[in-house]
Structure 1
Amino acid sequence: MILNKPLISVVVPHLNQPDALDACLASLDAQSLARDLFEVLVVDNGSRALPVDTISRHPATRRLEEARPGPGPARNTGVAVAQGEILAFIDADCRADANWLRNIQARLDSSKPGVALGGDVRIWRSDARTHSAIEAYESVFAYRFKLYIEKHGYSGTGNLALFRRDFERVGPFAGIEIAEDMDWGARARAAGLRFVYAPEMVVFHPARGSLSELYAKWDRQIMHYRRMAEGAPAWRVRWIVRALVVLASPVAGAVTVLTSDRIEGFTTRCKAIAVMGAVRLHRAATMLSLLRGDRAMAWNR
């Protein structure tokens, strides 16, 4: 490590979420890792108002700006000026567990070269005694990083850490037009990196506030999937079949809810099943509607 430079650079893309960013930065201020071992870089991606006051409450935090839309370009801007030999990525609406950075350091120190870590993302609840319906649903189905890593071979970028030298082997994140985590993951595997799930590397994400917010999240994801599918042989037929599979999936989804260790209680599980059914119906309808054409997208709205 170069003298007087941080060991870890934390990169936080931000767009129009000053209150969530404040909570995120407070969780980074409270890390058990010594403060001189990490830096925090917030990259604003075109907010209606720059989060100057928010960042001023966290004086060890740097503010950068990136005009190109999308969390991928914002992360790339942070990486470009980061000084740490380890890069850690977290989203502005997440809160890091107090040992997040300490666990990243320990796991990478004991790992072989060429490892990218993806951690556990849990749903943040202000009232730990109860779940709203959406909190119950997202506790089971949202941010399934273990599944992404072990079955699909990539990690979400909201809880990702690796050595800078390994990031540079892969190259920058893509823009908003595609799913940058899946795209970067594919390029990382092609470059020889190996994704490892690190359950001790915990961040918390609040549940969406309404069904409409859940639908908007899936609309963005489905658009990415459509762009990835388009152009393949018989892609429209494959797309229709996939939509019908989603439509029929609540039966299997109910089994997942009933056996999940992420929630407890019959009422809570019923809430999760009800939201899951509504979301799956919306996903199938959206997929079929996209056979008629593309849509504009924003990464955070």
Structure 2
Amino acid sequence: MKKPYLSIIIPAYNASGTLGALVTSLKKSSYKNYEIIVGDDASHEQYLLGSGVTIIRLTRNRGPAAARNAGVKKARGDILVFLDADVTVYPDTLKKIAEKFRQDHDLTALTGVWDKHQKSRAFFPQFKALRDWSYWTNERDRDGYYYLFSTRVAAIKREVFARLGGFNEAFRQMEDVELTYRIAKRYAIIFAPDVRVHHEFEGFWPIVRKYFWRSFYWSRLWRARRKFDPVATTMWETVSAVTGVGFLGLVGLGFIFAGFYSIFNFSAIGRSASGGQFFHQLSILNYQLSLLFLIAHLLFLRRFLWFVYEVSRHRTRSLRRDPDRRTLLPGSKMKFSMV
């Protein structure tokens, strides 16, 4: 049996709704020298993925880090390619990964990116897709010397992964960030913008819940390192988030001050005392601070806002020139405007 060059490792937990589409897209790849290994994290369902797919089933649910490590133990390829179970690849995704490692023997690890197209026309999935794409291609700190080893699509030499000890199974989330820190101590992680996969983002509340639980592991990483390292964000994005939260907080305080002002102004106590005037002054100050935070927020978001404007303008111009100009998402019959 020919030894594969790429070993594709996919963790799966009750992922029958998306895993089949990923495997189908992999089998349509123009590059063929690979193997597919699924780490089944004790799912409650059976996966029927056809021939050419090895399934390693864990006896109990231990998280994606353990599922990936179990898959790696069965891998035979020189390069490990990690994919999430809810993405699909393009026909040239694997080819580009293989070419980069073949052409650069010093390359140790790379990470790709989600594309910005979405099947859903809902606001939040569209926003999240554009936000992530803009971060990776438009807003990333230029002086950042390494990138997040994002397991949506990432590849690393198997010998290096083994030397590092694999994923830390104590992290049921954020395991890719934890591994990123260990890789970056000795090796570079490059960003390959042409290595792309497709991912359909969830709605607002599922993502809020996901990030809420991730915050626990973020705090655990910070306690271990005593250092905030914006590996998955930028300083601009951080300040933008702080000013945005500050603006919303001040707006909330504004309603409270307005309520107290009304109480004092229309009560006997208020008419005979200076309480109403005090809250009136607070309301004016709050309005000024809110305006300042809003301006700062928009200032730090300007790259992303300009990016959205350019995407929208390009899409509109493309449709005007050729209404039938479309691009197909991998594994989908739905068409989208080329942007």
* Superposition TM-score, scaled by structure 2 size: 0.65
Aligned to 1:179: 174
Matches within 5 A, 1:103-114: 103-114=96-107
Name the aligned partner's letter for residue 11 of structure 1: I
Distance of 2:13 and 2:141 partners within structure 1 = 25
Matches within 5 A, 1:202-213: 202-208=196-202, 210-213=203-206
State the identity as a percent: 21
Decide whether the 8 Å contact of 1:117 with 1:198 is kept in 2.
Answer: yes
Structure 1 residues 217 and 124: alpha-carbon distance in aligned structure 2, compared to 1, 3 A threshold:
farther
Aligned to 2:41: 45
Structure 1: state its 5+ residue gaps.
236-240, 269-301
1:89-120 CA distances to partner (integer Å, 9 max, x unpaired)?
11100001111111011011112335201112
- Are 1:159 and 2:206 counterparts? no
The one of 10, 13, 18 equivalent to 1:12 is 10
Decide whether the 8 Å contact of 1:108 with 1:162 is kept in 2.
Answer: no
CA-based RMSD of the aligned residues comes to 3.0
Aligned to 1:225: 218
Aligned to 2:290: none
Aligned to 2:69: 76
Question: Which segments of structure 1 move beyond 6 Å, counting only runs of 4 or more?
Answer: none
Aligned to 2:307: 260
How far did 1:68 drift? 4.6
Distance of 2:198 and 2:299 partners within structure 1 = 26
* Superposition TM-score, scaled by structure 1 size: 0.73
Name the aligned partner's letter for residue 102 of structure 2: D
Structure 1 residues 222 and 10: alpha-carbon distance in aligned structure 2, compared to 1, 3 A threshold:
same
- Are 1:27 and 2:25 counterparts? yes
Aligned to 2:266: none
Distance of 1:149 and 1:83 partners within structure 2 = 36
Distance of 2:306 and 2:129 partners within structure 1 = 13
Structure 2: state its 5+ residue gaps.
229-237, 247-295, 316-339
Aligned to 1:271: none
Distance of 1:170 and 1:252 partners within structure 2 = 41
Structure 1 residues 124 and 62: alpha-carbon distance in aligned structure 2, compared to 1, 3 A threshold:
farther
How far did 1:202 drift? 0.8
Distance of 1:134 and 1:261 partners within structure 2 = 14
Equivalent residue pairs, number:
249
Distance of 1:85 and 1:125 partners within structure 2 = 33
Structure with max Cα Rg = 2
Decide whether the 8 Å contact of 2:116 with 2:130 is kept in 1.
Answer: no
Residue aligned with 1:69, SS: coil
Per chain length, whose mean CA-contact separation is higher, i.e. which structure has more relative contact order (CA < 8 Å, sep 6+)?
1
How far did 1:125 drift? 2.2
